[in-house]
Structure 1
Amino acid sequence: MIQRITCYLGTGTEPYENLAVERFLMEAVEEGELILYLWQNRRTVVIGRNQNPWRECRLTELQRDGGSLARRLSGGGAVYHDLGNLNFTFCVQGMDYDLRRQQSVILEACHLLGIGAELSGRNDLLAEGRKFSGNSFYNHNGYAFHNGTLLVDADLECLGKYLSPSRMKLEGKGVDSVRSRVVNLAELHPGLTVEHMCRAMTKALESIYQLPSETFSAERWNQKTLEQLRTDFARWEWIYGKRLAFTASFTKRFSWGEVTLECLVRDGVLLESRAYTDAMDAALGTILSDALRGCRFVPEELCGCIRRLPLEHTVVEELCAWVTEEEI
């Protein structure tokens, strides 16, 4: 039974730090306590625990624009975060987990702002039939959290741009996102800001649980633990590897011939690659296949491998431009 509610408003916008804080708070929550964590990430795509990043977003475009890719602990689909988006996490011990009550806090916050909102299925919250919040869930060792997004005044153009899969033909395991029609709450409540939404969430929390809220005490933090968690969330192996295997295939015709590249990717690395070509250089297919094997499946590393090939400069640069424009 919840007897105490605690709020923590995040102060940073770096995604790996924020995910570290979320994990820390989940394991810091005490019996009978609920911690509401409100936080923001700067331009970031966050994928679910079991998703394939190459299927979920345009990685090259995101990185070119200075954005980040992060993987969360919980399941569900890919989401876009920027400073017009407010993220929430309800942390409790397992016996106090009550999804419907927690979601009712969000609905009540919207109602306090004069926005009609409703629950759709298990995961989504809608306003005027359009999605403004997606939820996901995680439990471990007797602790649990329920988190999600609140589109307040996010850049929906960027959301649509980054959450579009690349042009490559991809086949493999992993959970794909279901795209939905979305809406910013500020469209329904002109002038609404993230700060207004934070205040509404705090008031709604107190109303739903009939308890006064307190602030998470600084004495409860463990900086060493936070730093280690941040390192874990930022690791390549966590973000890109995650034991997912898939195949990718893409083709382009150049003035000197056509090339098809087929790749088997596991843990974010080319386990196997095959290059097929009708170019006059009979060795090109073998040279390219061998060079890319063992390379990380990101444009800058693929280009690095290609630039070491004993090929004409023009061919090398055209191949590099190709793997970049494929938006891997």
Structure 2
Amino acid sequence: MFAYETQILQRLAVLVVCHDLAVGQILSHNFQLQRPMSWFQAREFCQRHYVDLTVLSTEEQYFTLLNATAANKVSFWLGLQHQSTFSGWKWVNGEELSYSQWFRENDADCASLEAMLKEDNKLLARYCDEPHMFVCQGPVSPQPVAVDSVGSDHVILSWNISAFMQMTPHSYNVTTCTNKCDTLVFPYTGGSAFMSINISYLTSAKEYFIEISAFVRRPDNVTGRDMTLRSKPTALQVKPASLADSGSQHNVIIVILKSLKLVSLAPPLWILYRILKKCELKSESESESVHDVSQVELSAEETIVELFPQKTRGVG
């Protein structure tokens, strides 16, 4: 159906929200395509070359794209479609529309973003076979990432797979840095909303710096190679618990050694204390003996004086 679609992709795609453009690899989130197509053709194109038509789950995402397309005066298909009277408007990943930014909602079944409107309410219901430009979405990085286990040589991480990413085969680049950086690839096999990985044989370090990014590969008929689209990485720092434990153990060991040292010094200190105590008692005993002798001698002298009072006065 699209004989030269990849060439159009290479020449006319404009990165709306992107990070780092490199040869053979595009790091991106949303792509604004300049070729008008029906809603269904646009979705097929996005699924073949990206992930799907863009999903704006929150108002924050809505206004981010709104600001990015402010300079354009055209209509863009979004991945938003009216399912039925009962289910209402849903994104292509199955999520319901959780906010109301409608310029006008009528009986049409596909939604566009009207960049030419001045007001913030720019969602418009249109008939799906109308030709409009469109916005594709690239892979989404995992948010948040949980640290389930960490040791001196391994880290176990886990995260929930978004409904958007469950719809397409993809993989994760996991880069772990200590003194050097190593990158591992973990494929998502599908059928689960949960991902858990074990990074083993790590070099022991005080901290691990980890980046995780999702990526998909799409064929590039122009160059004959695959084009890789990678999300903006999720970064985290992990400190091995074993190092903190070893520090606590080290402190405990020091306290124990100090206690043992004091215990080993107790016997000689007790002996020394006894010796000093004996010396102190002996010194006090001798001091008391001298004091008693002095008292005795003084009493004898006074007695002598009293015994010969007349003789003493006669000599005078």
- More strand, by proportion: 2
Q: Greater relative contact order (Cα 8 A, min sep 6): structure 1 or 2?
A: 1
